[in-house]
Amino acid sequence: MLSRNILGLLLGVVAFAEICAAAHAAESASGTLPHIVFILADDLGYGDLRCTNDDSKVSTPNMDRLAAEGVRFLDAHSASSVCTPTRYGILTGRYC
């Protein structure tokens, strides 16, 4: 059985592959590449952005606009209590 860290990394890779496949399909259909913004934030909770929590104490108009105009992935999990394994995996493509 795969450990949770490997499983989390694999799920992230699958999600990124889906984004790339959608980008390729959009390029083929329209002849232009879509803009992809990948944001990895430390210590950012689900309810910290106004687009996911109307009662948020922090005003996040730019992130709200990005969320409204783009695609959001809202179901993600981490097997680690810190972001280091995720950051390492994304930046190097390797399992830490």
The vertex-76 CA angle with 37 and 67, nearest 5°, equals 40
pLDDT the model gives residue 35:
77
Question: Domain tally for the chain?
Answer: 1
Give SS3 for 54: coil
pLDDT at 7: 56
* Per-residue pLDDT at 6: 61
Per-residue pLDDT for the chain (96 aa), expressed as one digit of tens each? 445 556 565 566 666 777 777 766 766 666 677 777 777 777 777 788 898 888 988 888 988 998 898 888 777 777 777 778 878 888 888 877
Q: Which pLDDT belongs to residue 26?
A: 66
Nearest to 70 by CA among 8, 31, 23, 17: 23
Answer whether 0.75 is exceeded by the pTM: no
Give the CB-side neighbour count of residue 2, counting CA atoms within 13 A. Answer: 10
Domain that holds residue 78: 4-92
